[in-house]
Structure 1
Amino acid sequence: MAEQALSERSPEELAEVRVVRRRPESQLWQPLTAGAESEFRVDLERLRFAPAFSRLADVTQVVNADSTNSVVHNRLSHSIKVTALARALAVGVREIAAPEDVARWGGLDHVVAQAGAVAHDLGHPPFGHNGERTLDRLAREDFGLADGFEGNAQTFRILTELEVHGNGVDGLNLTAASRAAVLKYPWGRLHVPTPHPATWNDPPRGANAGAYGSGAAKFNAYVLDLTEMIALIESFALPPGRQTLECNVMDLADDIAYSLHDLEDFHRSGVLQFSPISGEFRAWLADIREWAEMPQERLNRLWRQPGAGLERMRRNAAEKDGWVYDDEVFREAVEVIGRELVDGVLVMPYDGSRSADSIISDFIGRWIDNFSSAVVMNPDPGCAREPVVTVKPLEWHQIQVLKFVHQYFVLHRPDLAMVQRGQSLILAELVHTFDEWLSDRFDAMRAPRRLLELVELAEQGYHRVREQHPEWLDGHTQDSEIARMARGRGVIDFVAGLSDSQALGYAGRLGPGSGILWASGVL
């Protein structure tokens, strides 16, 4: 996919663009006169004090705190660690990159990178990615919302529409730079840009079709919020499908944190067992050539046979990430991770002792330093999947192998799947119950006030889209269709904004036989 020319604006013009906010008195894009540093710090503190950020303390990363005797990461602790990494990476890039390269990609400020990291998981619903998949299915099947639900799009909607700050402004009224710092996937599910990234010969990461077979699996704006996203992209004059540098840095920091901290959680919980993981690594390394020559159909049939998982992951990386993938480097990454993680950490079962804590802590610290020191900037990426800011090839392969261990030996566990099935049922019940409540013409106005407001806000948004971009509604422009979509988006927004405990509590209070009447907080 050919990329447009990068911006040639002066540093002064670029700085003015980056500190633009949406002003309440006119709702127009206007520059501010204060210094960028102070404006970005206002953004950072505004995000940290937002209720949506506090909620993340009770939103699942992979499992909730009650699932294990060990302390596990939640979305808040994960976001705090990503924030620290993002700052370190941004500072590192500024030290190694040519100033002119940084400028032509829109600038790089470590405070903006921190703001993007603080905000990046605000859109996660109760029960993490499992909740995300469930709400996506319900949004499509029950309400006809073609763009369903997506955590990154929900984050952008929270920042620009749903969260409040003061009077007369939708969202948190952040600067353009901070809003753009969460646009990991700067396109809609089915619309914008044209041609859509899902149709490109070389689509960027996340743009491939999702489980429903249409549009992009990952995206950053629902049709209600596409206008806002388009304005941001145009203000930075970035090529189609490209992130700002601060967003790129945040995305890399998120990848690094994900590759390490979930492994730490499940080692402490006793879930990561030495024998099966060691068997996987040793089986693949013992027969590299045989695995490489094995027909795909036979490999698929082997499923959990030791070595088969790594080979499937290797083939997927080779197919999708040819810009960096290398057979020899992959083999070296498997050897190093096998030596450092499997034989160096997992060989000794975690027993809660100080020495056990020291071993896993030392491993996590050394590898964070390793990845942080391997950051590089490529100002002229060769394909849409190749980021401008990344890490060296060996470290890139090591991150993929570490993520594989978590995905293959944790996320595929039947006991986790059973818990997640139960969580999905809870979310489905909440969505259906609130939908039925709003359908009750005698009792609808006693529904939670925020739910009613969110439905009204969505209906206003769909009417605005019908007036300005009716093509985004794919023919669903009748008043009755808009009302149904608005109710769906409002219900999904409401349920997605709950914490894990709130979702469980609401399900209990809405179910038969609940003895709870008064609880802290308001509906």
Structure 2
Amino acid sequence: MSTTGDAERWAPEPPKDTGAGRGPYERDRARVLHSAAFRRLAAKTQVHLAGTDDFLRTRLTHSLEVAQIGREMGARLGCDPDVVDVAGLAHDLGHPPFGHNGEAALNELAKECGGFEGNAQTLRVLTRLEAKVLGAGLNLTRAALDATCKYPWPRKSETRKFGVYADDLPVFDWLRAAAPEPERRCLEAQVMDWADDVAYSVHDVEDAIHGGYVRVRLLIDDADERAAVCRAAAEAYSAEPVDALAPVLDELLADPALVAVADHDGSQRAQAALKGLTSAVTGRFVAAAVESTRVAHGAGPLRRYAADLVVPARIRAQCALLKGIALRYVMRRPGAHGRYEQQRAVLTELVEVLADRAPDGLDPAFAAEWKAAHDDQARLRVVVDQVASLTDPAAVDWHYRLTR
């Protein structure tokens, strides 16, 4: 298979009817939108459990928002907007039931077959598990696949994030052929990654304010709460020390858009103010990255490996602090730990019972893969693939059906 050409596909395909005028990256976008994995995102947890509130975001709505933010930012930089759009739509296809909690549970369960990581699973979904082209998944172009790679390296001991399992290395090496350095990300992947950070930092806080988990007035008035948010952000999301984050949080809380939602009461006026906040902060985060990248790399189209995205340190710190707010008041709120333990138990018991009964109990496609697997590690990987593919309610239903 060829190793050159951004628009090439892993598996050769016959020429398409070009009467509709669609280019290869527009076709990539359509393939992701019409995939089963994309539809399943509608019932997968973002931060709040999927299905608990019609207002709150799921992995599907989050992915649509990432694609929109990334497409606009990429277009302003001169990237092919469809490539960035595809990356935004596809970046979470590998996430399992119950969000990052489910990811951690499956990583422990899959330690004998190379671990589990949502981004590596995304590559597996796109290049193997989705049924579009036999043996090649959705068979996206090289440029689109490369743009989805947030962590373009295999599993290694010093970091828990990685982007490819050992048995997916052949297609990974093919799609990374143009990379000038082994772990350098293309610009489109960097744009998608920042769009992802922007979307979930801003929108998770929006959801949390709407849901009553975050009271901005408390943060404005209480120095101890501000210090706790800074500690949470420094612990999980930022290399900056707590003391350096404190003045950034003060600046953020003085923003008129945040002050306007300090006493959110759910009224239409309050909801409009909340939307004003998300719009203002998203716009600021995107504009700062575009402007700084232009200063560093000049005018003209920037794409693939011609440039790196530049995000000012102060803007990254603000983004980390918004994530810290969601971490403290949503993910670590009272009662959350018990629910997380229950979710992990569901996935653990589900993997164990399926591994014991397989191929019985697996969907037909996964049962065939299990029968073709050459050893116990490969068979365990198939079971993990099956469980990772499930939506939150499907995981609960399968667990009830198979363990009662």
Please indicate the TM-score interval, normalised by the length of the shorter structure: 0.7 to 0.9
Give the Cα–Cα distance (whole angstroms) in 2 for the partners of residues 505 and 496 of structure 1: 14
Give me the whole-angstrom Cα distance separating, in 1, the residues matched to 2:214 and 2:361: 48
- TM superposition score normalised by structure 2: 0.87
**1:251 and 2:218 are equivalent in the alignment:** no
Deviations 1:116-168 (Å, cap 9, x if unpaired)? 0010000000111111001111111xxx12x21000000000001111114x4
1:175 maps to what in 2?
Answer: 141
1:171 counterpart SS class:
coil
Q: Which residue of 1 aligns with 2:309?
A: 389
**In the aligned structure 1, how far is the partner of 2:178 from the partner of 2:137?**
21
Question: Partner residue of 1:20?
Answer: 8
Aligned residue among 232, 253, 275 for 1:338: 253
Partner of 1:402: 322
Q: Is the 8 A contact 2:366 2:382 kept in 1?
A: yes
Please list the CA deviations of residues 445-501 of structure 1 after superposition, one character each: whole Å capped at 9, or x if unmatched: 5653233123246x2xxxxxxxxxxxxxxxxxxxxxx51101110000000001111
Paired position in structure 2 for 1:165: 132
Indicate which of 79, 99, 102 corresponds to 1:128: 99
CA drift at 1:327: 7.2
- The structural deviation recorded for 1:426 is 1.0
Deviation per CA, 1:341-382, whole angstroms, max 9, x where unpaired? 89614531333x2111111011111111111211232459xx
Indicate the residue corresponding to 2:66 in structure 1. 82
The residue correspondences of 1:33-182 to structure 2 (distance < 5 A) are 38-68=23-53, 71-94=55-78, 108-140=79-111, 144-145=112-113, 147-166=114-133, 168-182=134-148
Match of 2:213 in 1: 271
8 Å contact 2:230–2:242 — kept in the other structure?
Answer: no
- Which residue matches 2:368? 453
Instruction: State the one-letter code of the partner of 2:388.
Output: A
Distance in 2 (alpha carbons) for counterparts of 1:33 and 1:379: 38
One-letter amino acid matched to 1:264: E
Structure-2 separation of matches of 1:276 and 1:218? 34
Map of 2:275 onto structure 1: 361
Change (3 A) 1:424 1:179: same
Could you tell me the TM-score, scaled by structure 1's length?
A: 0.68
Supply the distance in 1 between the matched residues of 2:44 and 2:261 (Cα, whole angstroms): 28
- Runs of 5+ unmatched residues, structure 2: 299-306
Equivalent-residue separation in structure 2 for 1:363 and 1:428 (angstroms):
40
1:455 to 1:344, Cα distance in 2 relative to 1, 3 A: same
Judge conservation of contact 1:238–1:244 (CA < 8 Å) in 2: no
Describe the shift of the 1:508–1:260 C-alpha distance in structure 2 as closer, same or farther (beyond 3 A): same
- Residues 312 and 271 of structure 1: is their aligned pair in 2 closer, same or farther, counting only changes over 3 Å? closer
| Identity level (%) | 31
CA displacement 1:232-275 (0-9 Å, x = unmatched): 22x21321211111111100100000110011111111111346
Superposed displacement of residue 215, structure 1: 4.5
Q: What amino acid is the match of 1:170?
A: A
Contact 1:454 1:490 in 2 (8 A): yes
Cα distance in 2, alignment partners of residues 257 and 506 from structure 1: 31
Distance in 2 between the 1:62 and 1:274 partners?
Answer: 19
1:184 match: 150
Residue 32 to residue 228, structure 1, CA distance change in 2 (3 Å)? farther
1:306 and 1:262, CA in 2 relative to 1: closer, same or farther beyond 3 A? closer
**Residue number among 218, 232, 237 corresponding to 2:161 in the alignment:** 218
Does residue 430 (structure 1) correspond to residue 350 (structure 2)? The answer is yes
Q: Deviations over 1:415-469 (max 9, x none)?
A: 122212111111111111101112xxxxx55653233123246x2xxxxxxxxxx
Is the partner of 2:375 in helix, strand or coil? helix
Amino acid at match of 1:271: Y
Moved more, 58-67 or 331-340: 331-340
SS at match of 2:110: helix
On the 8 A contact 1:185/1:218 being kept in 2, the answer is yes
Deviation at 1:50, TM superposition (A): 0.6
Structure 2 CA distance for aligned equivalents of residues 429 and 315 of structure 1: 31
Q: Which amino acid aligns with 1:269?
A: G
Shift of 1:33: 12
Deviation at 1:409, TM superposition (A): 2.1
Q: Deviations over 1:274-295 (max 9, x none)?
A: 4653355x34xxxxxxxxxxxx
Query: Are 1:491 and 2:383 an aligned pair?
Result: yes
Partner of 1:271, secondary structure, is coil
Output the CA distance in 1 between the equivalents of 2:93 and 2:236. Answer: 29
Q: Which amino acid aligns with 2:44?
A: V
1:446–1:502: structure 2 CA closer, same or farther, 3 Å change rule? closer
* 1:446–1:404 distance in 2 versus 1, CA, 3 Å: closer
Give the CA deviation at 1:222: 0.4
2:304 alignment partner in structure 1: none
Q: C-alpha displacement at 1:31, in angstroms?
A: 11
CA shift in 2, pair 1:433/1:114, >3 Å = same
CA distance in 1, matches of 2:246, 2:260: 20
Mapped contact 2:214–2:329 kept (Cα < 8 A) = yes
SS in 2 for 1:414: coil
Structure 2 residue 172 is the aligned partner of structure 1 residue 229: yes
CA distance in 1 between partners of 2:25 and 2:352 (Å): 41
Deviations 1:47-82 (A, max 9, x none): 1001110110000001224445x5210000000000
| 342 and 374 in structure 1: CA distance in 2 versus 1, 3 angstrom threshold | closer
**Counterpart Cα distance in 2 of 1:315 and 1:416:** 19
Distance 1:425 1:39 in 2: 43
Residues 510 and 88 of structure 1, relative CA distance in 2, 3 Å threshold: same
Q: Which residue of 2 aligns with 1:211?
A: none
SS state at 1:236 partner: coil
Structure 2 CA distance for aligned equivalents of residues 278 and 175 of structure 1: 48
Question: Contact conserved, 1:454 with 1:491, CA < 8 A, in 2?
Answer: no
